[in-house]
Amino acid sequence: MSKPLTDQEKRKQISVRGLAGVENVADLKTNFNRHLHFTLVKDRNVATKRDYYFALAHTVRDHLVGRWIRTQQHYYETDPKRVYYLSLEFYMGRTLQNTMVNLALENACDEATYQLGLDMEELQDMEEDAGLGNGGLGRLCVRVLIGMEACFLDSMASLGLAAYGYGIRYEFGIFNQKVVNGWQVEEADDWLRYGNPWEKARPEYMRPVHFYGRVERGPDGVKWVDTQMVLAMPYDTPVPGYRNNIVNTMRLWSAKAPCEFNLKDFNVGGYIQAVLDRNLAENISRVLYPNDNFFEGKELRLKQEYFVVAATLQDIIRRFKASKFGSTEIVRVDLTKLPDKVAIQLNDTHPALAIPELMRLLVDEEKLSWDKAWDITVRTCAYTNHTVLPEALERWPVDLFHNLLPRHLDIIYEINQRHLERISSVFPGDQDRLRRMSLIEEGGQKRINMAHLCIVGSHAVNGVARIHSDIIKNTVFKDFFEVDPQKFQNKTNGITPRRWLAMCNPGLAEVIAERIGEDYIRDLGQLKKLLNFVNDDAFIRDVAKIKQENKMKFAVYLEEQYKVKINPNSMFDIQVKRIHEYKRQLLNCLHIITFYNRIKKEPNKSWTPRTIMIGGKAAPGYHMAKMIIRLITAIGDVVNHDPVVGDRLKVIFLENYRVTLAEKAVPAADLSEQISTAGTEASGTGNMKFMLNGALTIGTMDGANVEMAEEAREENLFIFGMRVEDVEALDKKGYDAAEYYNQIPELKQAIDQISGGFFSPCQPDLFKDVVNMLMHHDRFKVFADYEDYIKCQDRVSTLYKNTKEWTKMVIHNIAGSGKFSSDRTISQYAREIWGVEPSLEKIAAPDELPVGYDDSELGPKPTL
């Protein structure tokens, strides 16, 4: 195997990622050494690789700071409408390389580190992934894949929007996954243990957040009293736009106990315990809940949801009052103008408490009437739904609310009463409709339906792919759609081409730029120009060559990490996403077993070799997902050690799948598996990343696959299986797994091998739960799509042998992927929900300001 070019070597060949002048190299080296000495207090004799990474990170951050401050000054001067994106999760990944790309510093940094005798890729590998999100991990929750929130923040900055991401600064992010003896084992993700060079603490903007207490009504209005207070400390991370000098802010809140927390116990000898009890307050931001849908009723999770909302809304109102617009009021800020200057996007139901909290602030604190406050709230808030399964909608027990947030429970009851009065006036006497549409679910334990709260309290509700948006209008939220059809929209998700092409696949980015220019990084729709090169032999060779180089590099990585030598000329068949029954990794497993059995039956036949990789995390409380991982690893143990099979089939479970690993796997993939049951995937963004990087999709007509097939034409994807209407028809008829099991010999053989202990000889009944689920309780109908899936995989194998025709399909897919830019997604959010206009104009960088420019000319200092 010839050694592939490193990314550093590739970057020296390309221009699409920016050519920082060589005159910057000397300055970068000087600043690198300055940070090594004065920030880290080290010299080259004792510095470690991590020290060198921190020195480089601080050096790059220096180039952000001036732009960051200048951006806030620009926003103060122009006073635009500001967008606030509220999410309990921000799966950001690493920051260094993305920042260098967006600031056009990468080449200069490459050269500077090279001259310093350091390896850029080694330094980048020292950075911890900021795993502050599940990446869609969930048991029943249907969410998007890795880094959507990061993509959106990148696009907001690149489009010049005055936007802020708000979330929680979890001390421990999503767990690190280890595979021990084939089983998933969770380890704590202590991502902050070495510090974070990108964040800036802002203690001056610390905000109080209250819990518990009671509600008191008097002549002066309603008061929430006798509460327990926790402080929310903000930590700001810069989010640079793509070469436009805009640097926006992601503000994450960390819980801090107030100084007086329980210290009254000091006088009775309880000082030590009182200090220790401070942890009870600070636990709020300690750990990200793995989203296994079992945190219903968990007080800590509800505390997290209110904590981020309460701190954020105080910050939003503070900034509004301090803006030019707000401060023009002589006596009192006119909060009825809030929707003109503020847009709040609720990412899923987790920040739903923003609605009653904003009402509380406006009614209780600002003394507005209910009707005025409600008008402000609805016009300010919008809601993105990520869930098509009704049982996955977030619900909270009323009893828990009554104890933890008594004032908010009152407000929700009032919202519900007014909402039901309206519904009753439109549909008089329809008690069943009132029950279905109520925010409060009766029967057994009373619960608050947070999705219903979001819909009622928002002016816009959107799904994240066209098929998903149609489903929520026609089924999940049909009643609400009938009442307020104008609220419902679709915003098909997208990915940032900066991270998911220019950064992770520089070779392909350059090959494209040589044909159509470099502007496509800002306008991904220009990729359609590649259709002019579908039959260009030179372009076909270049695309195939880049793919092979990426595969060779990934093969080296896999051999180092997994001690499995794989054939880089084999088809890299990859399914990476959270482990979940509806994602149907089990269907993939059945294909692996079928292919294995065929090779064993006809070992001398000319088979298309495959390396099948499956990766993803199982929620810790999700037994079946963990069993699926165990089955994948068990199949791999048998297949990978069978001398008859050799390198014609290898099975690898990609441990601890995360953003950084995705950046390696996605450019190397030949085939992308997107095989969920039709009607269950909200969107998917992994499918978009694979498409943009030249992998062909085998998939069902589900989520964004439908629109991908439209953009690239269906004949350029491998589409199989039931459509949504077929699934609905099968539900009505009744799905009988035994019918397929008895009629399809290869399927029966595979299931019998699993149940008979072929893949677990030391424990023959190890997978009895998996087989029992497939045979008797499979909601996602794996067997119903098995036969068509196998036939489709046969078509894949046949085409892969024809490199030219395969690559022509690849080019069609790359050319059709322009729609799936997060820039397009965010532009639609901006114009159609937030009421702001994106801009590709640059602002002046600090070193581009006029000579003699004085910051004092700005007047009052802008608030952060």
| Residue pair 83/830 in contact by the 8 Å Cβ criterion | yes
Instruction: Look up the domain containing 298 and give its range.
Output: 83-94+129-491+824-832
Give yes or no: residues 329 and 469 share one domain. Answer: yes
Note the pLDDT of residue 864: 75
For helices 537-562 and 803-815, what crossing angle results, to 10°?
90
Domain assignment present for 735: yes
Domain count, the chain: 2
Helix (H, G, I), strand (E, B) or coil at 147: coil
Domain assignment present for 660: yes
Rounded CA separation 49/850 (Å):
40
Note the pLDDT of residue 83: 98
Q: Output the six-digit token pair for 72.
A: 């806030």
Average pLDDT rounded to a whole number, residues 421-437 = 97
The full DSSP string for 265-282 is GGGGT-HHHHHHTHHHHH
Give yes or no: residues 768 and 828 share one domain. Answer: no
Domain assignment present for 354: yes
The fraction of the chain above a pLDDT of 90, given in percent, is: 82
Q: Output the six-digit token pair for 337.
A: 């103008």
Q: Report which of residues 659 and 526 the model is more confident about.
A: 526
pLDDT class of 564 with cuts at 50, 70, 90: confident
Residue 864 vs residues 53, 177, 530: alpha-carbon distances, Å: 28, 37, 43
Rounded CA separation 512/530 (Å):
8
Query: Is the pLDDT at 703 greater than 80, yes or no?
Result: yes
For 316, half-sphere exposure in the C-beta direction (CA atoms, 13 angstrom radius) is 33
Residue 470 vs residues 414, 491, 759: alpha-carbon distances, Å: 30, 11, 42
Give yes or no: residues 614 and 719 share one domain. Answer: yes
Least confident window among 115-119, 275-279, 413-417: 275-279
Residues 6+ apart with CB under 8 A from 402: 409
Query: Is the pLDDT at 47 greater than 50, yes or no?
Result: yes
Give yes or no: residues 455 and 589 share one domain. Answer: no
Residue 659 vs residues 171, 224, 499, 826: alpha-carbon distances, Å: 18, 43, 10, 21
For 565, half-sphere exposure in the C-beta direction (CA atoms, 13 angstrom radius) is 3
- If we measure between CA atoms, which residue out of 575, 572, 164 comes closest to residue 345? 164
Average pLDDT rounded to a whole number, residues 267-276 = 67
Domain assignment present for 104: no
Query: Is the pLDDT at 372 greater than 90, yes or no?
Result: yes
Stated as kind and residue range, the H or E segment containing 166 is strand 163-168
Rounded CA separation 228/64 (Å):
39
Q: Output the six-digit token pair for 804.
A: 């030219």
Note the pLDDT of residue 759: 98
Q: Output the six-digit token pair for 149.
A: 């929130």
Note the pLDDT of residue 388: 75
* Amino acid in the structure at residue 91: Y
Rounded CA separation 29/31 (Å):
5
Bridge partners for 573 per DSSP: 612, 671
pLDDT tens by residue, 281-325: 899 999 888 754 455 558 999 999 999 999 999 999 999 999 876
| Residue pair 670/631 in contact by the 8 Å Cβ criterion | no
Rounded CA separation 381/84 (Å):
10
The gap from C-alpha 29 to its chain's centroid, in whole angstroms, comes to: 35
Average pLDDT rounded to a whole number, residues 514-518 = 97
Query: Is the pLDDT at 329 greater than 50, yes or no?
Result: no
| Residue pair 385/442 in contact by the 8 Å Cβ criterion | no
Give yes or no: residues 614 and 656 share one domain. Answer: yes
600: domain CATH number is 3.40.50.2000
Give yes or no: residues 486 and 592 share one domain. Answer: no
Helix (H, G, I), strand (E, B) or coil at 132: strand
What HEC string does 579-621 produce? Answer: CCHHHCHHHHHHHHHHHHHHHHHCCCCCCCCEEEEEECCCCCC
Residues 6+ apart with CB under 8 A from 431: none
Domain assignment present for 101: no
Strands 221-225 and 214-218, bridge-based pairing: antiparallel
pLDDT class of 444 with cuts at 50, 70, 90: confident
| Residue pair 711/500 in contact by the 8 Å Cβ criterion | no
Rounded CA separation 101/99 (Å):
5
pLDDT class of 562 with cuts at 50, 70, 90: confident
Note the pLDDT of residue 418: 98
Bridge partners for 342 per DSSP: 82
* Amino acid in the structure at residue 850: P
Domain assignment present for 251: yes
Domain assignment present for 436: yes
Helix (H, G, I), strand (E, B) or coil at 218: strand
Query: Is the pLDDT at 263 greater than 60, yes or no?
Result: no
Kindly state the DSSP code that residue 127 receives in the 8-state scheme. Answer: S
Rounded CA separation 533/515 (Å):
8
Residue 238 vs residues 207, 672, 761, 856: alpha-carbon distances, Å: 21, 33, 53, 23
pLDDT tens by residue, 54-74: 999 999 999 999 999 999 999
Residue 171 vs residues 137, 237, 625: alpha-carbon distances, Å: 19, 15, 26
Give yes or no: residues 473 and 581 share one domain. Answer: no
| Residue pair 720/789 in contact by the 8 Å Cβ criterion | yes
Residues designated as active site? 386, 577-578, 583, 685, 689
pLDDT class of 333 with cuts at 50, 70, 90: confident
Note the pLDDT of residue 15: 36
Give yes or no: residues 776 and 828 share one domain. Answer: no
Query: Is the pLDDT at 364 greater than 90, yes or no?
Result: yes
Q: Report which of residues 393 and 803 the model is more confident about.
A: 803
Whole-number average pLDDT of the chain: 91
Q: Output the six-digit token pair for 242.
A: 């793509």
Query: Is the pLDDT at 22 greater than 60, yes or no?
Result: no
Bridge partners for 699 per DSSP: 674, 719
| Residue pair 705/722 in contact by the 8 Å Cβ criterion | no
Give yes or no: residues 419 and 392 share one domain. Answer: yes
Least confident window among 187-191, 568-572, 642-646, 847-851: 847-851
Note the pLDDT of residue 580: 93
Note the pLDDT of residue 149: 74
Give yes or no: residues 578 and 440 share one domain. Answer: no
Q: Output the six-digit token pair for 60.
A: 């790059």
Strands 163-168 and 247-256, bridge-based pairing: parallel
Rounded CA separation 34/759 (Å):
57
Give yes or no: residues 675 and 809 share one domain. Answer: yes
Note the pLDDT of residue 7: 56
pLDDT tens by residue, 742-794: 999 999 999 999 999 999 999 999 999 999 999 999 999 999 999 999 999 99
How many CB atoms lie under 10 A from the CB of residue 341? Answer: 19
Note the pLDDT of residue 530: 98
* Amino acid in the structure at residue 327: S
Give yes or no: residues 743 and 828 share one domain. Answer: no
| Residue pair 467/703 in contact by the 8 Å Cβ criterion | yes
- If we measure between CA atoms, which residue out of 339, 484, 344 comes closest to residue 419? 484
Domain assignment present for 502: no
Note the pLDDT of residue 326: 59
Strand order in the sheet with 440-441: 395-397, 447-449, 440-441
Q: Report which of residues 79 and 562 the model is more confident about.
A: 79
Strand order in the sheet with 610-615: 649-654, 610-615, 571-576, 671-674, 696-699, 718-719
pLDDT class of 520 with cuts at 50, 70, 90: very high
Rounded CA separation 650/637 (Å):
10
pLDDT tens by residue, 91-134: 778 999 999 999 999 999 999 999 999 999 999 999 988 767 66
